[in-house]
Structure 1
Amino acid sequence: MSDNPSSILSTSLVRHLTDKIYEKRKVGALELQKLVVDYINQNQMEQVEKIITILNGYVRALNPHTRKGGLLGLAAVAIALGKHSEKYSNVLLVPVLECLQDIDTRVRYYACEASYNIIKIARETALLQFSVLFDALCKLAADPDKNTRSGAELMERQLKDIAIHCNKFDVFEFVCLLRERIYAKNSFVRRYLISWVHDLQSQPNINLLQYLPEILDGLFQILTEPTPKIREACEVVLGQFLREIIQKPEAADLEHMVNVLIVHAQSNGQLMVVLYCFAKYNALMWLHEFLKLDGSRMKSFLPGYVLVTLPCLAYAESDSDILQVSRRINTGLMTLVSSEKSDNSSSFELSAMVEVLLPSLNDGEVSSKIAALKWIHYLYEAMSDKFFIYMEELFPCLLRLLSDPSDEVVALDVTVLSDLCTGKEGYNTTVEKFGLPAGSVRQLKAVSPYFVHIMKSLLDEFRRDCSFLHDRGTFIIRQLCSVLNVEDVFHTLAVLLNVEQDLDYVSRVVQILNSIFLTAPELFSLRNKLKDMPVHDESNDRNLFSSLYLCWAHQPVALLALCLIARKYKHAANIVHHFSELEVNADLLVEIDKLIQLIESPIFTSLRLHLLDPRYQADLAAVLYGLLMLLPQTEAFLILKRRLQCMPTTLNFGMHCSDQLKANEKSSLDQNAEACVFRELMEHFILIQQKHREYNTGKLKLKMREPF
């Protein structure tokens, strides 16, 4: 036989094998298969090798029909070799794999067919080319030709079968290949990758769980795939992985997966929002399961958990799945934190928690703000000594929340602030830093510096926004009174207002404070405490009545009401008498009208009964008749007139005798001291009213100078 390798193949065989008609090429392939079998039977393997070399040349030929014939020929040789093919698998497979990317559609299809036959025969040895095969199939999955894709699917199934049943299959190599391609956006490629993971993860001899952290991010990316079937297949794969983790949590690297899940739980795609919500929900479900499985391992990730949970708590009921799982996570996290109470060292960074909570306090939705406030409250209760050092960061945000439009947010914010103000931990601030006069500092020494900070910040906000004062002032102050010491609230506000320079502003605030003082149930204890409270106490820098008096002096009718509540009727009569020195305008008459209405309310029950008491009757009559003379004959005038007509002209009730004697027993020293204090208070009232007149006159002059 000639030394020319081509002479091994007959002219007829070559002509059939390279014919443009498929049936003729198939005939040539069968002839070639018989020829190779004969050489094998004769043990002439060198001849077989020469045939393989010839066919390698064919598959690289320029003529596409020649390439097709070469592919059929190589497949025929592999079939003929049978068990001997292991030795030749590389030389048979490599040229065929090159044709998988051929520009000719039919060549690619026949390359798939040839590859299928070769790897079916070669079995385990074909895995030596697994990387090339996997990469080629990944590209073919997105081939524009449907027939080529179908051929690739057959080839893929064959390769999977070998990988599943072969002990030599390199799982690590597969994961590396998967990791490189898992971020592909092409739907066909994604389907191809998911099918591999799905089929391999179900095999008991293949452990993909240990490599899950490396591909988890890519799998969650595929959850945003628009094609429903691919998305559902990915969900099935992730569900299977999660079941494995639940069964064997110790075998799973939870720590390396948590951060991936946190990223996807934050996803908010501008496009395809529904798909991103689907991925978000699955990520939250995983985080919830991790928390249930081993909370101790999740403690260090608590800031990340809170970061993704808080915004989700603001989801509408239409996204109930996300909302419900977020609530469960939030509850679980708080339970986890409760274990820190008995732990000397925190396993998570409080500084990171504060950084996470601040954005929700500043810009979050109402539900997120509420959750963040609950977290601050919870953390403070669990570890107040450690948490207090972050107050400088949190306090400004908490103060700003007092002006939040949501009542629920304000109520909870006040509760949190009250915790901080009543805490026993060392303060990072002092009253002196607020620049108050020494006398005011001395009066406030008994309250927390943070308490003063709250009140001062609130007053600053009231000054900045007048509408905020009128719309929200009453609600906020009542909330403060409901959780804080009422006396401290009003005393501190009064002391701070006493140093204010803007008289109009002080007058407006006092008007609101007085309304709260007279009507709010939260102030019941304060009203009772003021009754018969002495106005002179040398041992105490803080006298509640005097503090309020100095502030209430900006509103004459409010001051009168304060004296009536405190049963300082004689002084009240002096104040009414001084009303003649004031400008009796419509505003003053309206305030008197309101006071008359209040005198008929349960708040002033004791005052009405004192009209029957000889000790108070004369002074009270002076007050009420004075008001009657100030009023025009309106409805309020008639109400007060009828009330005074009910007052008896003479009283002979014996029960008052002993009381009168006791009253007379009051030492002249005390009486003189009290009288001195009342004189000072009256002088202060007159001075304040003089300042108001001057202030109003100055404003009027400025207005007159304004150009038309």
Structure 2
Amino acid sequence: MSMESAIPAIIMRGLKDKTYSKRKAAAQDLERLVKGIRTEDAQVQSIIHHLERDLCLSVDPNARKGGLIALSAVAIGLSKGVKAYLNAIIAPIITCFSDKDAEVRYYACESLFNVSKIARKEVIDRWFSEIFDSLCKLSADSEQSVQNAAGMLNNLIKDLVASDPSGAPNFDMDKFFALLVERIRVVSPQLRIFIMDWIQLLHGIPSLDLLYYLPAFLPGLLSYIADTRVDVNMKARAILNSLLEGVVASQALPEVTPSGAGTPVAGASPGPAASASGGEGTAPESESEAAATAGDTPPVVGILAIAAASAASAASAASGSGSGSGTGSGETADTASPLAADVGVSVQRPFDVARIVPSLLWACCSQDPAMQANGLLWISGILSSGKFKRALVPLADRLVHGALLCVSHNLNNIKNAALDVDAALLALFLESTSGAGSAGRAAIAGGGGGGGAPSAAAFPLDRLIHELSQLLTHGAEATRLAALEWLLIMSQHEEGAFAAQLGRNSGLFSALLHCLLDPSPRATRTAIDVLATLGSHMGPKWFRRCCECFLQMLQGDKKMMQERCSLIVRQLAMTLTPESVFSTLADILTEASLPPGTGSASASGAGDATPAAGDDTAAAPVTESPAAVAATVAPAATAAGAASPKSGRAQPRHFALYGTCPPLDLAFVESLVQALHLILMTSSECARMRAVLRATDDRAPESAESASLFAQLFRCWSHNAAASIGLCLLAGRFLQAYELIKLCSCDMDVTVSFLVDIDQLIHLIESPVFTPMRLHLLDIANNQSLLLALNGLLMLLPQSSAYNILKNRLSSASAISASAAAKLPAPSAVPGAAPVVAFPLRDHLDHQHIEQFIACQQSHSAVRSLAMTMLNTHSRNRNLFAFVQSHPETEKVRRSTVATYLLSQKRSPIDISQVRDLL
């Protein structure tokens, strides 16, 4: 029978008729015809081809409708024999799903519904992806009738998938999930519900192994939580909770090495913290880059990439090799996919939790609170599982970054969830480091993930330190504090590895120093604890470098010096020892403030100027002259407090781990010495140090420790006359104090700042710190030097409250001493009597100290004199700093020192009259 005569003409006319009843009657006639020739393969193929060419592809809508009805009639007529012709029947129906006529689309749904009821499982196995794609479009059709028809067809297809007697559908899963990932980005609420219904259905089939494809569609599903429609939102939450339960329950599967843990999936676009854990030296994204990628576009994971990677992982686990061999670039999807099993065979693949981490971190960095909460909930649930928390060790740097960004959230539920994740990660770090042997610690130091089972994976210490150093400059206080807590614990448990990373990561060193000036006192204390812990491991040279950089920061910010200097020094003294802290600071101030020409300021740190091998950021030894270095100090210090436009916090200055301290300004040194002196005299942390300086426990001469400490401090204290006098009074060197007072009154300028410092000293004399000295006033035989010193101070003071305080003290002491002198026996006549004080045995002049004091004070006097001369000569010059730099009659270092001295009194633009008054 020819193609033209395969279908009778009367049936063809009926199928093309515009009335439904005639088309239906013609289809019934065709069904009876096909039943009679179902064994005639050629005739059946001819009929199907004729229907497709002349009816389904016709320009007449009625003909297309008739062709669709006829195709379903042919399927019914063929009954079980439809398998052989199924592709030819379904192909034109799928084409008509996109017809511009709504009635044609409706009839296409009806036709496929009838065909599916006949062919059942065969339709799913061969055409499931195409049918799903068509239903996805039709579920949001503009015509309600088409939506209803698509809904009925969708229910039938779902029933066929769920009721498969084999328990495992045999359609191409890779192709289907690639289509699902493409469609999951829709914004229509109807389509979102349609997609979630299918995910829920497939998740309910145990043998389907939906979790294997979870990394591909999880980002889209997480984005549904931000939908404003309540039904979409609630359904997404329910499905995510169910999937999380499945992930946690899947820990019973055989444990394999996560393929590519710590590396991004091929074809994946990095999320907010993705692709940060490549090889050593690969820097993760900065905070600003993470924020830029944490928008509305979720990370995309390729289906074929997942299949190839997991196939390589399974092969690696089966062969016992620790290093997975990836799929070659020329391998086809069929070869890479592990879905080549026969029908009915349940294929369970290990779940690689590392591949969902980018999606979870993307959710954590989202602007939607619900997405953030669910991302943290998933991470917390995975960490609570016994197997997967070990697999997450190589990804710890990304997870810590995401959690710490959320600890500063203004919503308590998100903040608490982030704190829970942070605590779990911290416990995982402690477990990993404590359980690792020497080989494990070496791997941790190198930051490598290592091979073998997840239990042997090492913490990526280098990448984690990089992430934490970036977070130290974050605008939120809670995030900075959490990052500092991490660094403190890491420095305490992995001192050697942490120190090695610090040598390679100069950004961390600068960030830690910047935290010393953090507005939060708690952050400052924690940063000091980290530096002190590292100092105990790295030695005194490293601690000296920290102090040098700390002084440079204080010089650039006078306000911070006033507000934070005491807190930092006291915390350092409490963490270390006050003697080591004050000695180090005194040495730096002494050497860095020497006048030009001595060479000590530039050569003092030469032993510390050797950069570490391979450290590109380490500073080379300073080769410029001290004058050239000093000329750049003031401009850099002025710009040091520039605020970040993003966070509103000061941008951290960069400090090389190996370098030298440039010359310090004399005005800054003078004010800092006074601040250190007040800390020494008043803080409880320095009580032992004050006792060492006094050394009043017996009448023996002062100990070598006391003499060395006093000499070290006095060299620095000489920059401030009042502080030098106070130090001598504390140490019982009253004759030397009297000599200093005479020098101040005769050979040096008595400035307003000096009188203010003397006023503070008088009030300190009335404090408990100077109780031994006040008692020494009663020792008539040995108090002459002390009386001279105190009376000299009295003569320096103008009539003020401090003058009256000291005058009353001296008057009462003189009266008591005079009345008691005649009544008390000599000390040697009282058996076993202890001496009152031990000061007299060391009350002598040290001429070297006096010369040091004179040299320092002359330097300060010269600076003040030069500044005053310039003010008087150029009182109209508003830009004084630029003028001083260009002055031809003074050396470069002196010009910079004078300019900085003036600018330290009042910021530019300078009011000349106020600066003159201050001087």
For structure 2, list consecutive stretches of 5 or more residues without a partner in the other structure. Answer: 262-351, 445-457, 595-664, 877-919
Counterparts of 1:108 and 1:661, CA distance in 2 = 116
Letter in 2 for 1:471: E
Q: 2 CA distance for matches of 1:126 and 1:554? A: 93
Partner of 1:684: 852
For 1:587, the equivalent position in structure 2 comes to 753
| Structure 2 match to 1:356 | 467
Report Cα offsets for 1:524-577 as digits up to 9, x if no partner: 221111103899999779811111112112222211111121122232233333
Higher helix share: 1
Alignment match of 1:698 (pick from 839, 860, 866): 866
Q: What TM-score does the superposition give when structure 2 sets the normalisation length?
A: 0.67
1:605-616 paired onto structure 2 within 5 Å:
605-616=771-782
Write the distance in 2 (CA, Å) between the matches of 1:539 and 1:592.
29
User: Which residue in 2 is equivalent to 1:55?
Assistant: 51
Residues 1:596 and 2:598 are matched in the alignment: no
1:250-649 paired onto structure 2 within 5 Å: 250-251=252-253, 256-267=352-363, 273-274=367-368, 277-293=369-385, 294=387, 295-316=389-410, 318=411, 320-339=412-431, 340-343=433-436, 344=438, 345=440, 346=444, 347-363=458-474, 365-392=476-503, 393=505, 394-423=508-537, 427=538, 448-499=540-591, 500-501=593-594, 502-532=665-695, 543-581=708-746, 582-647=748-813, 648-649=816-817
1:117 alignment partner AA: N
For the residue of structure 2 that corresponds to 1:646, the secondary structure is helix
Q: Following the alignment from structure 2 to structure 1, what is the Cα–Cα distance between the partners of residues 754 and 84? A: 111
Q: Counterparts of 2:700 and 2:16 in 1: how far apart (Å)?
A: 120
Percent identical: 29
Match for 1:63: what amino acid? D
Deviation larger for 177-186 or 481-490: 177-186
Contact 2:488–2:526 (8 Å) recurs in 1:
no
Matches within 5 A, 1:19-98: 19-34=17-32, 36=34, 51-56=47-52, 57-98=54-95
Task: Report if aligned partners of 2:780, 2:817 keep a CA contact under 8 Å in 1.
Answer: no
- Name the CA distance, whole Å, in 2 between partners of 1:108 and 1:605: 102
Match of 1:110 among 76, 88, 107: 107
Amino acid at match of 1:367: A
Q: What residue identity is the alignment partner of 2:476?
A: E
Q: Report the Cα distance in structure 1 between the residues aligned to 2:727 and 2:170, rounded to whole angstroms.
A: 84
The residue identity in structure 2 corresponding to 1:297 is: A
CA deviation after TM superposition for structure 1 residue 493, in Å: 1.1
Change (3 A) 1:610 1:262: farther
Q: 1:626 to 1:575 in 2, by over 3 A?
A: same
Q: Deviations over 1:15-49 (max 9, x none)?
A: 44322233443344344445555667xx7787666
Checking the alignment, whether the CA contact within 8 Å between 1:223 and 1:234 is kept in structure 2 is: yes
When the two chains are superposed, the root-mean-square deviation of aligned CA atoms in Å is 3.2
Q: Give the aligned residue type for 1:472.
A: R
Shift of the alpha carbon at 1:352?
1.6
Equivalent residue for 2:236? 234
**Distance in 2, Cα, partners of 1:680 & 1:179:** 85
Q: Write out per-residue CA displacement over residues 321-343 of structure 1, whole angstroms, 9 at most, x where no aligned residue.
A: 32222211211122122231341
Query: CA–CA distance in 2 between the matches of 1:663 and 1:39?
Result: 132
Cα distance, 1:485 vs. partner? 0.9
Cα deviation, residue 142, structure 1: 4.0
- The verdict on how the C-alpha distance between 1:538 and 1:240 changes in structure 2, with shifts beyond 3 A counting, is closer
Amino acid corresponding to residue 58 of structure 1 in structure 2:
L
Residue 753 of structure 2: SS of its match in structure 1? helix
Q: Alpha-carbon deviation of 1:145?
A: 2.9
**Can you list the C-alpha shifts for 1:60-98, whole angstroms capped at 9, x where unaligned?**
221101111111222233334434433433333222222
Q: Which residue of 1 aligns with 2:196?
A: 194
Q: Distance in 1 between matches of 2:193 and 2:700?
A: 85
SS at structure 1 position matched to 2:120: helix
Deviation at 1:198, TM superposition (A): 0.8
Q: Equivalents in 2 of 1:333, 1:8: separation in Å?
A: 73
Evaluate the alpha carbon distance shift between residue 498 and residue 298 of structure 1 in structure 2; reply closer, same or farther with a 3 A threshold.
Answer: same
Tell me the distance in 2 between the aligned counterparts of 1:297 and 1:180.
29
What secondary structure is seen at the aligned counterpart in 2 of 1:472?
Answer: helix
Please tell me whether the aligned partners of residues 140 and 148 of structure 1 are also in contact (alpha carbons under 8 angstroms).
Answer: yes
Query: How big is the shift at 1:51?
Result: 4.5
**Matching residue's letter, 2:583:** H
- Give the secondary structure class of the aligned counterpart of 2:72: helix
Deviation, structure 1 residue 457: 1.0
Amino acid at match of 1:569: F
Paired residue secondary structure (1:633):
coil
Task: Measure, in 2, the Cα distance between the counterparts of 1:563 and 1:541.
Answer: 12
* Contact 1:478 1:520 (8 Å CA) reproduced: yes
C-alpha distance after superposition, 1:103-158 (max 9, x if no partner): 21110111011111111111122232223322322332343333222222211221
Distance, in Å, in 2 between the alignment partners of 1:325 and 1:158 is: 42
Q: Using the alignment, how far apart are the partners of 1:578 and 1:279 within structure 2? A: 72
Structure-2 change in CA distance of 1:612 and 1:469 (3 Å):
same
**Which protein, 1 or 2, shows the higher relative CO under an 8 Å CA cutoff with sep ≥ 6?**
2
Match of 1:219 among 218, 221, 241: 221
Higher mean alpha-carbon deviation, 296-305 vs 44-53, is at 44-53
Matches of 1:658 and 1:239 in 2, distance apart? 91
The 1:6/1:226 distance shift into structure 2, 3 A limit, reads farther
Matched letter for residue 331 of structure 1:
A
In structure 2, the residue matched to 1:443 is none
| Rounded Cα–Cα distance in structure 1 between residues aligned with 2:869 and 2:171 | 88
Structure of higher CA gyration radius: 1
Structure 2: how far apart are the matches of 1:259 and 1:205?
21
Aligned length: 670
Q: Conserved in 1, the CA contact under 8 Å of 2:109 and 2:149?
A: yes
Q: Is the 8 A contact 2:31 2:74 kept in 1?
A: yes
TM-score (normalizing by structure 1): 0.86
CA drift at 1:512? 0.9
Whether 1:157 and 2:249 are equivalent positions in the alignment is: no
SS in 2 for 1:459: helix
Q: Distance in 1 between matches of 2:560 and 2:527?
A: 17
Give the secondary structure class of the aligned counterpart of 1:362: coil
Q: Do 1:171 and 1:206's aligned partners in 2 also have CA atoms closer than 8 Å?
A: no
| DSSP-derived class of the 2:141 partner | coil
Distance 1:455 1:172 in 2: 68
